Every structure is written in C-alpha cells, then in structure tokens.
Homo-oligomer: A and B are copies of this chain.
Amino acid sequence: MTVKNILFIMCDQLRWDYLSCYGHPHLHTPNIDALAAKGVRFDQAFVQSPVCGPSRMSTYTGRYVHAHGASWNFVPLKAGEMTVGDHLRPLGVKTALIGKTHMRADAAGMARLGIDPASQIGVRIAECGFDAFERDDGLHPWSGHDPDPAYNDWLREHGFAGENPWEEWANMAEDEAGNLLSGWFLKNSDRPARIPDEFSETPYLTGRAMDFIDQAIADPDGQPFIAHISYIKPHWPYIVPEPYASMYGPETVLPARRHAVERDDPHPVYAAMQEHRVSRSFAREEVRRAVIPAYMGLIKQIDDQMGRLFKHLEDRGIADQTMIIFTSDHGDYLGDHWMGEKELFHDAAVRVPLIIYDPDRRADASRGQACSELVQMIDLLPTFLDIYGGAEVPHILDGLSLRPLLFDQADRPERSYVVCEYDYSFQDARRTLNTPAREAWLRMIYDGRYKYILAEGYRPMLFDLQDDPDEYHDLGADPAHAEICTRMHEALFKWARQPRQRNTIPDATIESTAVQERIAESGILIGYWDAAELEQAMLDEWEPRFAASNPLTGRVMEKLLQQRKTKQKKEADR
C-alpha cells in the first residue's frame, strides 16, 4: 500500500541501546521489536544536538542547529523559520502534535512582524508549525506549571485531586508510613509512583493519540495526516508506577561504561562537565541502581503502549496505509563516561533508536533489516516530503530522504558524515571555564569511524570507534592522529561554510535559468558596445522566448521566433 498517514513517534531521552531489538539483554520490548521486524532498524542514527530543544528544532525544521539558531532549550526558534507544517500543509497533509516539542515561541519576532499570537499562524509559530491536538512538555513543577496542563484536569476528573495532580500523584511515591516522596529526588526512583499505570503520562498520551487518529479518520475531508506522538518519557523525573516499578531489579543494571582513563587529564570542557552535579550523582552506584530500573520501567511501559497504539491502527483498518516512525530526541548517559544527562557526544547521548515501518510495497526488500548507514534526524522531513510528493528543497532542508534506504535502492546518495552541535553557554561548564557565550560551542563530525569534536578555544577531541568502540580514549592531542584530525577538521569547515540561508530561491531555479540572458531580455544590457554587437550576440547565443516590446531587442527577437517557427514547421512536415 502507499503511505497515507504517518505516526511520527518520538520518545524523550531514550538511549539507542535500551530496547531489546538494539541488544539490551534484560529489557524486552516486543512491540517495538515487532515494528523493527517489519520495518528497518537504523543502527547509526544521530541527533543534531544532545539536548531536547535544539535537537527537536532541527528535526522539525530539517536544518542543522547552525542554520536555525535555536541552540538550547530556552532559545526561541525564529519566527520565519519553516517547520514541518509549512512544508507539509501545502501538500494537503494535516500536521498534528500530541505531546512534547520543547518549542519556545519567538514572541519578540512575532510582535515585530505584526503576527497576532492568537491567530492561526501565530499559534502555529508558537507550536513549531504543528496544529496542537495536545501540547504537553511534561514537566509541571510546583512553582512552574503555568498554564495548568490538560493532563492535570484529566487527573482531577478521575479523582486525583490537588493543586498540581502531576506533582502530587504522577511524580510522587509514598513510604511505608504513608509519607509522600518526590520523584524529583533520585533516591525515590526505586519506588512506584502513586499514580496507577493507566493514569500515568505515557498511557494518557497514547489515549490522546488514539483520540486524534479516530477524529482524523472520521473527518469527511479524508486528508492524510502526520501525527507527531511525542512522549515525555523516559525523561526524568525517573519514577514509574507499578507494575513497571518492580519489574527490573538492581541485577539488571548494566555496569557503567566508564574508564579510569577518562578522569585522567580529560579535555577541559569534558572535565567541567564531569563536575556537573548530575554527573557527580550518576558517578555513584547507588544512584544508578535506583534510577536505571525506573528508566527501564518507563521504557517497558512505552513498549506496552506501542502495542496498544499499533493494535488501534489495526482495529481502525489503517495499519497498512500508515508509516510508523519510532525514535528519540537524544539519549541519557546514566553514569557512562562519568556523566549524567546528555550534554556531550558519546553514543549514549547522541545516537538514538530509529525504526521505520513503511507499508509501501517497494519497502518489502528491506523488511526486518538493520541499516548501518549514517542517518540523522534532519533526514526525516525530507522523507516526509518524498512520501507526499513534494519537491526537494535542498536550499532549505539540510537532510536527505531516507526512502532510498527503505527501498534498498542501489543508486542512493552518499552519506559521508553526521554532524551534531552543542551550545553549552547555558551550562555550568561555561561558567566554570569562563567561556564567552559566543564561544561556548562544541561541534562533532562523525564519519562512521572517527568522531572529531571541535571545542572553540580548546584542542579538539577525537575518538576512533573502530579500535575503541566504547569511546574511552581521546586521541585529540595524539600526534599520531594529527592527520586524521586535519581531515575531519576540514570536513567540518566544508560543512560550516555550506550556504544554508539562501532559502528564498530554489537551487533548481538558479541552475535551470540562463540568468544573464534573462536580464538582457528584460532590456538591461551589460557590456554591449553597439546595436550590431547585440544583434550578433542574440543571433549566436539567445534562446528566444517572446517578442520583447523593447525596441533595442524586439526586432531581433521577432526574427528569432520566426526562424524557430519555420524550423519547427519543417520538422513537423518531415
């Protein structure tokens, strides 16, 4: 079947290797594995930034962070940047959001452009181009939950009372004496959330996605849709209800992937990041043993909800016309490399699961395969355009359609590297190092073997993932690898200087137009000595399009057009 709809499912902070189809030995995710069995599992999929906001802004704009500029969670995406909705709506595709985007609206830009934030366009700009069926960014702390999310209303309706039911039920456990224990504290991660499973966030959002699907297929307009089902989990707070809370014991916690050599004179930026509170916490085994079982439980819960969601597609009879994409916005160190959170470029942070099921018959050749080509989140939007028959727009989008990989085509474009960026100016590391905000940038280029990291103001880092798949040994200062550093450095320069802002005119238009001839046709004559020289040039070089009214060129244009007509007539008569 051809693809009519797309479920674009994104988890938040799901590491590439915490699914059984990606090799986790203890965490069984049969529903996601089944999707991989009928689709393609990408084994080298990378995000454009290891933190929610910029990673998502790259995914939703199809552009590198360097191009769209929303380089951290608090940096609004510029009003005017084209997003997935701008590309897909003109093709007749509903572009809906159910869940998280981490979008921060560019209120100042909208005001400057006279865009009413309450207008349809204003609302879409604020929602990163989506029509929000439900927006929920998932963190609703006591002093910050404004506006009150719909999830809180729903909890209250179902008897979970309180000023902030998310905090009081979904994000709390109880001790044996009935004392409330906050999910914000890592120590409490090994306890079950007070909320029953069916009322917790992941099942709630799945239900909302099912509501959207039902509404969309009931709509008499029959429009195709892309539903961005964007889960908040397994992102912290790390707390999960039963039965998931008890599913994984400390014996299922894999040893941290870290090495003493990583603490022995590390790169200054890496050293500063190892000193972040969250890194120091996750360096402690008690933290890992409390948190990781909850993290696994949250993923297991997602897998169960995938089963529910996929069954819903079957029940509604649209499974064979619906592409399913399952991915994440970045990973989670979980103590690997002496780090917590995700703000550097080890695979734990920047490599994500990516599974695509394409019901198109041309994808039959690749079903169940693993694809080891280097792919990036910015490849998704070009894939959507490809599916819905939109023209390629390489003057705007930095990625490549994944469909040639899904169709296992021989003549597919070369993917020689991936690039990931991190603006650490909002992090304590910048303050520790006293780096100016303008310089606090890290950029990674990875060619499938070497991961080269340019740190503004410092020496580079380099990892050889062939000889050192665990990325323990930083070769950035190793003279024996200087040549490789130079090559990767130059590749990054080539990437950095690519024109990414000439967005208002397609490359194809430029390439197919004899611009200088068109300028002359319009009567703007550059470098002609006299009328005779002009006439000669016209006769020798011009392809006449019309009889110009310009007295300098009109007579010759007329003559050329007449000649062409005579020639065409002769050919037709022959």
- A positions within 8 Å CB-CB of B: 66-71, 74-82, 86, 106, 108-109, 112-115, 119-121, 125, 139, 141-144, 182, 184-188, 236, 276-282, 284, 286-287, 340-341, 394-395, 423, 425-428, 431, 436-438, 441, 443, 454, 456, 489, 492-493, 496-505, 507, 510-511, 514-516, 521-531, 534, 537, 548-553
Contacts and interface: CB of A to CB of B under 8 A. Distances in A.
A522 B80 contact: no
A504 B284 CA distance: 38
Contacts of A498: 438
A499 B423 contact: yes
Given A113-B121, A427-B515, A525-B185, A550 B66 contact: no
Contact of A278 (B67, B108, B443, B526): B526
B141 A427 contact: no
Contact of A69 (B443, B502, B525): B502
Task: State how many copies of this chain the complex holds.
Answer: 2
Contacts of A423: 499, 502
Contacts of A144: 522-524
Contact of A185 (B114, B534, B537, B553): B534
A496 B493 contact: yes
B428 A499 contact: no
Nearest to A551: B142
Given A185-B525, A426-B510, A437-B507, 20 more contacts: A67-B501, A70-B502, A77-B504, A86-B112, A114-B115, A141-B523, A143-B523, A144-B524, A182-B552, A184-B552, A185-B529, A185-B531, A279-B527, A282-B527, A340-B526, A394-B438, A425-B511, A427-B516, A441-B499, A454-B497
Pairs A-B, 6 closest by C-beta atoms: A141-B523, A69-B501, A80-B80, A278-B527, A142-B550, A143-B550
Give the interface centre of A142, A184, A276, A341 by most chain B CB atoms within 10 Å: A184
A143 B523 CA distance: 6
A510 B514 CA distance: 47
B66 A501 contact: yes
Given A121-B113, A502-B69, A524-B144, A426 B186 contact: no
Given A185-B530, A499-B71, A76 B516 contact: no
A278 B443 CA distance: 43
Contacts of A114: 115, 119-121
Contacts of A503: 69, 78
Contact of A499 (B69, B77, B184, B394): B69
A82 B548 contact: no
A439 to B, nearest CB: 9
17 contacts: A69-B504, A70-B502, A78-B501, A114-B120, A141-B523, A141-B525, A142-B549, A143-B522, A184-B528, A186-B529, A187-B530, A277-B527, A286-B529, A426-B515, A426-B516, A427-B515, A431-B514
Nearest to A276: B527
Contacts of A497: 66, 441, 443, 454, 456, 492-493, 496
A349 to B, nearest CB: 15
A142 to B, nearest CB: 4
